[in-house]
Amino acid sequence: MGRVTERRPVIRITDGAMSSRPDTLVAEEPLEIRLNGKPLTVTMRTPGDDFALAAGFLVSEGVIGSAEELATIVYCGGARDEGGNTYNVVDVRLAPGVPVPDVSLERNVYTTSSCGLCGKASLDAVRTTARWRLDAGRPREVTTGLLSALPDRLRAAQRVFDRTGGLHAAGLFSPEGELLDVREDVGRHNAVDKLVGNAVRAGGLPLRDALLMVSGRASFELVQKAVMAGVPLLAAVSAPSSLAVDLAEEAGLTLVGFLRGASMNIYTGAHRLLLPAPTG
């Protein structure tokens, strides 16, 4: 679908001079995810990779962890009153025998800072639903020099960002720094879900041999998604939240923030990195 970007008129002021021209904007539309025909959630996303987004979301919720647990993912026809398809509603059908969670306001994993639950409850929810332990996870002995190269490699792969300047990105890298997959979205959590969804549908979970790099900050939600997908290392160009660091420590995740050039902060899991000699 060609709905990733849209054109809008704009008045531009440059050095005191005014001109009119069309501008390219990133598209943002709601996606309703249904589970076995019942509404589960609605997220605002950039259209594209919707099936992967839905699958990745279910991984982060602890509903699935392998391709065998998925039966079908389809767009729901007749989503408009007049019968047309908006391509904004998907229905995920689980394979026979896969437990269907209670589709209600009380979710398996608490994903938002506004859920009204304490930090300990959020940490406990992830710990009890995560399928893979990260304490034995790789990559091991990754150099800080390799990490320093990841933001530029991720930025170079952001094709839609070059046209709009309005998208977050998430990329999976090998321990040698090779870009394995990249996804863009108006929401960084959606970009990660698209990565994880592609991986689970290809039978690639857990992602024990991958590094996850995200634009922006490292929230509790992004750390949760990394842990649920079995990713041992998450790096972000901006700051983590306190609860994100707590969860990373609890789960054994290596969490790197403020990754900019040769500078970075290592909040947890330094044992997986080859660190330079201390100064002073």
- In angstroms and rounded to an integer, the radius of gyration of the C-alpha atoms of the chain is 20
Which candidate, 18, 95, 59, 2, places its Cα nearest to that of 189?
59
> What is the Cα–Cα distance from 63 to 69, expressed in whole angstroms?
9
Give φ, ψ of 266 to 5 degrees.
-105, 110
Burial of 76 (C-beta count, 10 Å sphere; 0-12/13-18/19+): middle
Give φ, ψ of 211 to 5 degrees.
-105, 135
Is the preceding omega at residue 206 within 30 degrees of 0, hence cis? yes
Q: How far is CA 13 from the centre of its chain?
A: 35
115 is catalytic: yes
Helix H or strand E encompassing 152: helix 144-156
Catalytic one of 67, 76, 115, 146: 115
Helix (H) and strand (E) counts for the chain? 7, 14
CA angle 76, 110, 236 (to 5 degrees): 95
Which candidate, 109, 114, 113, 24, places its Cα nearest to that of 63?
109
Residues annotated as catalytic are: 115
